[in-house]
Amino acid sequence: MSGVRVRGFGWRHAGRRDWAVRGVDLRVERGERVLLLGASGAGKSTLLAALAGLLPEDSGEHAGSIEIDGRSADEARDRVGIVFQDPQSQLVMARSGDDVAFGLENRGVAAGQIWPRVDEALDRVGFPYHRDRPTAALSGGEQQRLALAGVLALRPGLLLLDEPTANLDPAGAALIRTALAQAVDADTTLILVEHRVAEALPLVDRVVVLEPGGGIRADGPPDAVFAAHGDALAAEGVWVPGREIPPRRATGPPGEVLLTAERLGQPPRLAATDLTVRAGEALAVLGPNGAGKSTLALLLGGLLRPGTGRLAASPELAGADARSAPHRWRAPALTRRIGSVFQNPEHQFVTGTVFDELALGPRRTGTAESAVRDRVTDLLSRLRLDRLAAANPYTLSGGEARRLSVATALATAPRLLICDEPTFGQDRRTWRELVDLLADRRDAGHGLVTVTHDAEFVAALADRTLALEPLDAGPVRR
């Protein structure tokens, strides 16, 4: 028997009342290519982790069974390759090439084959550096390419990918799709989780939709699934291809200047950049992986001291503060003036519950407790996080964690909000809710800077764009 057999499978994470997945029956034959869909929190990542044998018994309660090529998921681990939603959590070695080689060594690949396979995999994903590049000096998109190279090098029989192109620029995402199409041969089974359905469709021949709360909502060839269930799936949050997304343009002209950057740079991560940020305007920062977008976000957010050039806040943003450079402001003043959402939400949380995480900023800036409660309750409900108020932030799904990090930055009602990839990993419904929330802030006169690869987000919300040029890393030597 070959392929994947899931029978009555369920999993309830320790500490949670609700089952993350339940009653799932699924058969996937060897060589099939499946797109696994479902609303944020429907249990897609949990099911992938179960298939990869990565849900330890003591971390939750389990029902039903999983078999891969006739073996349990635990026993079949050497046939499976998985790329997690957060690629950084997967990188273990200090040097990029060693990270890919590590997996091959673990699986007993002959020594003479290891480095040729490492270099081939790095080429396939367009990794732009020599294999000695430190993993700590990679941008988000570069980390994602490396995590993919690590898995493709293994040539696994079952390939499990959780949002593998979410951090990539459009050219990088297209390259990865080509690499995947080549890697997935008749002997390889692919199960792909990807909210952006249109981009994933060329890679798959079947769509399986998880029903939040249990079971499978729809299963079959993509055209048939969307023809039969398109309206219902769109209403539940699935990105059904071909549906219009109404834009949210600014309702008035931009207001006062909040920040001015002149020749602002951070060699070698960001070349000298000029820009102004205004109140009542949504500015989108675009550019290829590694161009310095996240570095610019940290600089504008006052979280990194400028390497070169100058960054100054206007009196409109700095108030009576004599210091105009945001990195010189004390923490409470900075939090009130500028909110930052990092690229990796899971590195940002500091308290034990979702509620406390949201309350932290307002409490630190001296807001009265009753006002804190009102504000937190409002954000929880707008971002569909109410049922998770008591959950530990580190146990959230990818999409839930992303929404929490945006809500956290908004909780102090800062005049300026800087977001690094705010919409990554969102289903269509939560994406819309995030866009509306950010648009409301802009229309209320707040400034908004977003770093993004999300073309739909730019089309829906951005009033102005700034495209960073690629940094010239020179030709790659392997």
CA neighbours closer than 13 Å in the CB half-sphere of residue 197:
25
Candidate segments 39-47, 66-74, 149-157, 311-319, binder of ligand ATP by CB under 6 A: 39-47
Six token digits for residue 134: 């430190």
Alpha helices in 237-306 (DSSP H): 293-300
Shortest approach of ligand ATP to residue 419 CB, angstroms?
A: 12
Taking CB under 6 A as the rule, which mask of x and - marks residues 162-201 in contact with ligand ATP? Answer: -----x----------------------------------
Report the nearest approach of ligand ATP to the CB of residue 325 (Å): 20
Rule CB under 6 A: say whether 362 interacts with ligand ATP.
no
Region binding ligand ATP by CB under 6 A among candidate stretches 248-256, 334-342, 376-384, 391-399: 391-399
Binding range to ligand ATP, per CB under 6 A, among 10-18, 101-109, 370-378, 458-466: 10-18
372 or 462: CB nearest ligand ATP: 462
Q: Does 400 bind ligand ATP (CB under 6 A)?
A: yes
Q: Is 141 in the site for ligand ATP (CB under 6 A)?
A: yes
Would you say 257 and 318 are in contact if contact means Cβ atoms under 8 Å apart? no
Determine which residue in the list 291, 318, 338, 359 makes contact with ligand ATP, applying CB under 6 A: 291
Q: Which of 53, 87, 290, 447 binds ligand ATP (CB under 6 A)?
A: 290
Q: Report the phi/psi class of residue 244: left, alpha or beta, with left for phi > 0 and alpha for psi in -120 to 50.
A: beta
Structure tokens at 102: 């590590």
For 36-70, give the DSSP string.
EE-STTSSHHHHHHHHTT---GGGEEEEEEEEETT
Number of helical (H) and strand (E) elements in the chain, helices listed first: 15, 18
Q: Check binding of 399 to ligand ATP (CB under 6 A).
A: yes
Quote the CA–CA distance of 392 and 386 in Å, as a whole number: 13
Cis peptide before 268 (omega within 30 of 0): yes
Q: Is 346 in the site for ligand ATP (CB under 6 A)?
A: no
157 binds ligand ATP (CB under 6 A): no
* Encoded amino acid at 240, one letter: V
Cβ-contact 165, 144 below 8 angstroms: yes
Asked if 124 is part of the footprint of ligand ATP (rule: CB under 6 A), the reply reads no
Size of the site for ligand ATP (CB under 6 A): 39
- Tell me how far CA of residue 388 lies from CA of 65, 184, 233, 400, in angstroms: 28, 37, 23, 9
Contact residues for ligand ATP (CB under 6 A)? 13, 15-16, 20, 38, 40-46, 85, 136-142, 167, 269, 287, 289-295, 343, 395-400, 425, 471
